[in-house]
Amino acid sequence: MLVLASTLAAAAALQASTQPHPLFALSQSNTPKPVNRVLGGDFDVNPKELVNMLPLQPSDRKRAKEALARDDFVVTLDNVVTEEHCDRLITFAKWAMPSTVTGAASNEVDSVDGAPAHQANLPKAALKELLGSEGYARLLAPASQILGVMPRAVSAFVRKYSTTSRPRLPFHCDGCDASISVNLVDGSEYDGGDLVMLSDNALLTAPRQAGSAAAHSADVAHAVTDLTRGVRWSLVVFAHKRRNWRRQFSVQADGRVVDKRR
C-alpha cells in the first residue's frame, strides 16, 4: 500500500508539473552535444558531419548516409489537409489523450527515445472517416510520389508537442517505406518544433503552414527540434508498400543493408 501511495503521489506531482517527463532530459543527456545544438535550433551544420554524429544503429546510419545523397527522397506540399480536417484531427486527439503524463490513455512510449509518446493512434478506417475519401487520397499522394506506387497499408497517429508534454523527437530512421508528417496548426502558434530531414545533401526543414505536409523515404534521418513556446499538433502517417509491412534490416559482410522482408 505504501508503494502504491508513493507511486500515485509521484504521478500526481508530475501531472501538476510544468516540466516534461524526466525521460526526455535523460534522452537529451545521452545525445551528442553537436546534435543537441541542431535539435536546439542551430542549423549551421555540415550535414555529412551531422549524419556521422547521430546515435543510430549501424544499419540505420548506412541508410541515412545513402538517403542524404538522394534528391528524390523528400516531397513537401501545401494544403494537403484542409483547415476543417485539421480541426477534426486535433479534436480527436484531445479526446483520446486525457493524460498529461503519458499523453494517452495508456503508458505508451515512443520507440525512438523511450519517453511518453503523447500521441493518439488512428486506425486506417478512422483516418479515412475523419478525412473523407478525397482527403485520404490527397494525404497519401506525397508518399505515392516517393514510393512510385500507392501504399497498400498505413498506420497513423496524431502527436502533441509542447514544453510540458513532448518537447522534441531525436534523429532516427523509420521502419516503414515512407512517412508523411502534416502540420495541423500554423507555425505562428509555436516556436521551434521544426521537422528537419537529412536529404539532398542538406538539412531540410518542413513547411510550417497548417495543412502542409512533408513526406520522406523511411531511410531519411529526421527529427523534431525543441519546441519552446505554444503547442504543435501533427498527423504522422507511416506508408507501406506491402500489407505484411514489418521491416527487419541486417548489415551484410560486404556492407550492404538488407531488408529481410524483401
Cross-strand bridge partners of residue 229 = 191
Q: What percent of the chain has a predicted confidence (pLDDT) above 70?
A: 82
**For 9-13, 114-118, 122-126, 244-248, which range has the lowest pLDDT when averaged over its residues?**
9-13
User: What would the DSSP string read from start to end of 182-231?
Assistant: EE-S-GGGEEE--EEEEETTEEEE---STT-EEEEETTS-EEEPPEEEEE
Global pTM value: 0.86
Task: Return the CATH fold of 20-259.
Answer: Jelly Rolls (2.60.120)
Report residue 119 as a C-alpha cell.
500521441
Which distant-in-sequence residues (6+ apart) come within 8 Å of 16 by Cβ? none
**pLDDT tens per residue across span 61-110:** 999 999 999 999 999 999 999 999 999 999 999 998 877 666 665 568 89
